[in-house]
Amino acid sequence: MLHIINKSPLTNGSLDSCLRVAQSGDILLIEDAVVAATSGNACAAKLQEAMGRCKVYVLQPDLDARGLGDRLLEGVSPVDYGGFVDLTLSNKNCQSWL
């Protein structure tokens, strides 16, 4: 399953909830959730721990828009909107953790 997260883990529990139940699959961070994919953020360790069972992607245009392109967290793969489309297809299903 592709898990799509769109909120900052520093202010909202969506990423936490996703990481709690997701056993495998891909995680894509979009909109305000891109802050989770930056080095030095307080939730980075949690995301890196999840990389053992899930592959983590970030939507580069959302990262760039927020001026955070200079601090991509190691292990996170950037994708553009086309890559986002591909991820929905390479996974059997998807869920937006709104």
Q: Which residues bind another protein (CB under 8 A)?
A: 1, 4, 6, 13-14, 17, 20-25, 30-32, 61, 80-82, 84-86, 88-89, 92-98
Determine the 3-state secondary structure of 80 from DSSP.
coil
Q: Interior CA angle at 88 toward 29 and 9, to 5°? A: 15
Q: Which one, 24 or 52, has the nearer CB to another protein?
A: 24
Minimum CB–partner distance for residue 85 and another protein (Å): 5
Q: Which one, 71 or 80, has the nearer CB to another protein?
A: 80
Determine the 3-state secondary structure of 78 from DSSP.
strand
Tokens of 53: 């069972």
